[in-house]
Structures are given as C-alpha cells and as structure tokens.
Amino acid sequence: MFLLSTTLALYYLGSLVNAQSSNENAISIAAIEAHFTGAGLVPSLLSSFDPSALITVTFPGVGAISPGQSLTKDRGTDPRNLLVPANSSVTLQGNYTLVMADADVVGADESVGQTRHWLVNGVTLTGSSPLNVSTTGGVAVTEYAGPAPPAGSGAHRYVILLLPQPSSFSPPANLSQPNVGVSVFHLTDYISTSHLGVPVAGMYFDVEQGTATATPSPTSPVVSSTLKPAASGSSSASSSASSSKSSSSNAAIRSGHSVLAIPVAVFSLLASYICL
C-alpha cells in the first residue's frame, strides 16, 4: 500500500520572467541529460533524452538521490515523495506512465530487454508547485519491486522515467492489467507500441551486490559532445517571446552549464569506474 502514498515531484524549466530560477532549472536539466549520456543510458537504452522537467526520487533513510547515486540493495526500497513542482510554462495535465527498468551495467546489450521493476499507468499530477505525481487511482501493472542485481554482476543502473500517456495509449494486452510480476520487457518497444510520449523527466541510481567479476565497459567521451546540444535544447525550451531576454538568458545558461555540468559529468564517469 505504500505505493498509494508514493509521490513524484518535478521541477520545471521556469519561464524567462523568473530568469534566475529558469537558468538554474536549465542547468539542472542539462546536467541530468549529461548524466544519462555519461552513464551510457543514451544512446544504448534511450536514443535520446530531452526532459522538460526534473524528478526527485526520495528513499527512506537516504533522502533525495542524485543521478547515478549508489545505493545498497536494502536502501532501494519504498521510494516515496518522489517529488515535484511544476511551472505553468510547461503544461502538465492528463495521465502519465511511471516506469522503472534495470538497464544493467554500463555497456550492456539493451536489445535483450530490461527487467521491469515498476510500471504504473494513469499516474496523475496533483497539487501545485511542487506537483505530486500520484499513483493513486492509476493501474499498477507491476508494483514497485526493489533492485536485486545478481551478486558479482556489477553496478546495475535503475532508470525511472515519467512519460506522457495520451488518449491513444494502448498498452500490450499482457501489460495492461494490475499485478503482472517483475519480468523482462523491452522498454523502448513498450513505449512506442503503447504510444507513450517521450519522457518528460527521468532519474537513475546504481545498485551493486558483491564484487564485479567483469571488466566494465568504458563510458563514451560524452562531456564535450553533450554540452552543446543540451544547452541548445534548454534554450529552445524557453520562451521565444523575448529575443533580447532570450539571448542573455542563453548566455547565462551556457556559462553556468559549462561550470556545473562538466564536473558533474566527470564525476559521473569516475563514479561509474569506482562502482564497477
């Protein structure tokens, strides 16, 4: 029943009216994009990841996790108060699907599928600034199941995504009813065949048990290649109503981004190696 109290919070890219907040969120958006790429989730799991919001995932006894944070297996249970707020510059209405999948270790062959640890359709956003993403009233196809990677298999990446669920949503028959147990599915096939939208927000964390016996795959040289597309993505998400404001804001986003996102991405890479 804890799932009923599970909530999600998203921080949305602010409008240019609130330039400071907007820049901070734009930098954070760019940072999470850099993390997804630095951890190899893009492009091996998702061909691209261009979120419009931030999601905070909170575990009891841990607090709100940072992207790629290493958790022990016992800490990866009962996520709640996954946060949110929103800003009205991004429309947040209707139904969403919440999913958590085990993307395995860096370099894993994602074409074989991912273990599905959580899948709730009909998630709604309630309250305001922050918004709670509530699973109450949704269809818990797969109830949350904490991570349990095989001992010695390395640091598995558990990815949580929030995706818009349009009225044309049509899940496969065997993933449309509650109480489907944990099993392997193909995340991106599920997203496309169900007609879900692109993720509006995402987070991931690592769990490893025992000592890895395999040599980790190197992560790609993502740092420089990630920053420019992320910055332009951030600026395009901003209002184009004011070109002069937009220019100065974009400059601030770029400079702030290069200051923050590079160490963040480097840290992510180092963390990956340390964990593996």
Contact residues toward ligand NAG (CB under 6 A) are 5, 7, 14-15, 17-18, 81, 86-89, 94-95, 122, 126-130, 132, 167, 172, 174-175, 180, 183, 185
- DSSP character at residue 88: T
Q: Which two tokens stand for residue 240?
A: 């184009």
Residues 6 or more apart whose Cβ sits within 8 Å of residue 104 = 110, 114, 153, 154, 156, 157
Interior angle at CA 66, CA 140 and CA 92, nearest 5: 50
Residue nearest to ligand NAG (CB): 127
φ, ψ (nearest 5 deg) of residue 130: -85, 155
CB of 60 to ligand NAG, least distance (A): 13
CB of 194 to ligand NAG, least distance (A): 12
- DSSP character at residue 80: B
CB of 35 to ligand NAG, least distance (A): 25
User: Please, what sign has the CA dihedral across residues 260, 264, 265, 267?
Assistant: positive
Cβ-based nearer residue to ligand NAG, 34 or 83: 83
Cβ-based nearer residue to ligand NAG, 90 or 212: 90
CB of 117 to ligand NAG, least distance (A): 13
| R_g of the chain, CA atoms, integer Å | 18
Using CA atoms, how far apart are residues 38 and 263, in angstroms rounded to an integer?
A: 11
- Report yes or no: 154 and 31 within 8 Å, Cβ to Cβ: no
Cβ-based nearer residue to ligand NAG, 37 or 81: 81
Cβ-based nearer residue to ligand NAG, 72 or 189: 189
Cβ-based nearer residue to ligand NAG, 36 or 190: 190
CB of 2 to ligand NAG, least distance (A): 11
Cβ-based nearer residue to ligand NAG, 176 or 220: 176
Using CA atoms, how far apart are residues 131 and 10, in angstroms rounded to an integer?
A: 7
CB of 134 to ligand NAG, least distance (A): 7
Cβ-based nearer residue to ligand NAG, 85 or 154: 85
Using CA atoms, how far apart are residues 159 and 165, in angstroms rounded to an integer?
A: 18
CB of 73 to ligand NAG, least distance (A): 23
Best CA proximity match to 97, nearest among 25, 169, 147: 169
